[in-house]
Amino acid sequence: MSSITVTTWSLEQTSPTDLLSAAAPEGDVRIVRAEVPSPEFSRFLYASVGGDIRWTDRLSWTYARWEEYLNRRGVETWVAYDRGTPAGYVELEPQDDGVVEIVYFGLVPAFRGRRIGGHLLSYGAARAWDLADRWPGLAQTKRVWLHTCSKDGEHAMANYQRRGFQLFDTKVEEEPEVAAPGPWPGAGSL
The CATH number for 139's domain is 3.40.630.30
What is the tally of structural domains in the chain? 1
| pTM recorded for the entire structure | 0.92
Digitized pLDDT (tens) for each residue of the chain, 190 residues in all: 788 899 999 999 999 999 999 999 999 999 999 999 999 999 999 999 998 888 888 999 999 999 999 999 999 999 999 999 999 999 999 999 999 999 999 999 999 999 999 999 999 999 999 999 999 999 999 999 999 998 887 889 999 999 999 999 999 999 888 776 666 554 444 4
Q: Is 185 inside any structural domain?
A: no
Q: Is 188 inside any structural domain?
A: no
Neighbours of 151 (CB within 10 A): 17
Give which of 128, 114, 174 is closest to 149, Cα–Cα: 174
Q: Is 105 inside any structural domain?
A: yes
Q: Is 34 inside any structural domain?
A: yes
The number of residues making up the chain comes to 190
Q: Is 181 inside any structural domain?
A: no
Q: Is 74 inside any structural domain?
A: yes
Instruction: Show the domain range for 61.
Output: 3-176
Q: Is 187 inside any structural domain?
A: no
Q: Is 183 inside any structural domain?
A: no
* CA pair distance 120, 154, nearest whole angstrom: 17
